[in-house]
Amino acid sequence: MTEVGLSTVVYAWAGPPCIRVTTQSVKHNGKQWLQHKVEADEGGIGAVAVVTFAGKHLVVDHFRPAIGRTLTEFPRGFGGAPAIETTPEHQACVTGARELLEETGIAASTTEFLGYIWPDSGILGSKVAVIAVAAQSAEAVGVHDGETDGHRWISQKELEGAIRAGEISDGITLAAYALWQAAEAA
């Protein structure tokens, strides 16, 4: 039997994104402990975009202060609360297309909701939507926001080689790629 006690907020930040850290007591399999939980959002859903064009994948280089280094990853970010009533899946597609445009200047032609991933189910209580995006072209149509250090198109073989070599090690990107591959194989 599992019992989860009441949560106590130990930290909150209005953001963006809004961050909330809670502690709760947990009883499971005859053991008891305190567990922290982190939630992050902006009133909307987080999305990661697996972007393709002409058989290639788009990756961005993004400095991540939490680990003090730049990682190669798929474009991603949080969506704000929707302006109109919509489904979470539609909002995730809107967020994925917007993040692509903001981070690279590249516009989406089509988007498809693939599913959700839990980036770190041990402590993070927020899920991320995975979106397949077909780009309109390989060239930027807009100006990117400077959040990333650049982007490039790579073949699937190069992407998989970068994963094997540890050059792509971001958990959200790895999980999104696995979900994208499963969708492609179906």
> Which two three-digit tokens encode residue 2?
């599992």
- How confident is the model at residue 65, as a pLDDT? 86
Q: What is the DSSP letter of 180?
A: H
> Which two three-digit tokens encode residue 185?
């194989």
Report the range out of 1-10, 93-102, 122-131, 140-149 with the highest average pLDDT: 93-102
How far is 24 from 6, CA to CA, in rounded Å? 6
Reported residue count of the chain is: 186
How would you classify residue 156: left for phi > 0, otherwise alpha for psi between -120 and 50, otherwise beta? alpha
Using DSSP, state whether 128 is helix, strand or coil.
strand
The three-point CA angle 92-93-96 to 5° equals 85
How far is 171 from 184, CA to CA, in rounded Å? 20
- How confident is the model at residue 82, as a pLDDT? 64
How far is 20 from 27, CA to CA, in rounded Å? 22
> Which two three-digit tokens encode residue 157?
């073989």
- How confident is the model at residue 47, as a pLDDT? 94
Task: Using a pLDDT cut of 70, give the percent of the chain over it.
Answer: 95
Residue 117 confidence class, pLDDT cut points 50, 70, 90: very high
> Which two three-digit tokens encode residue 131?
């979106």
| Across 95-113, average pLDDT | 95
Q: What is the pLDDT of residues 4-46, one digit of tens each?
A: 778 899 999 887 778 888 898 888 888 988 888 888 775 567 8
Q: What is the pLDDT of residues 42-96, one digit of tens each?
A: 556 789 999 999 999 999 999 998 899 999 999 998 876 666 778 989 999 999 9
CB 154 within 8 A of CB 162: yes
> What domains can be seen in the chain, in order of their start residue?
2-41 (no CATH), 46-185 (3.90.79.10)
Using DSSP, state whether 27 is helix, strand or coil.
strand
Which of 103, 96, 108 lies closest to 134 in space, CA to CA? Answer: 108
CB 46 within 8 A of CB 34: no
| Across 111-134, average pLDDT | 92
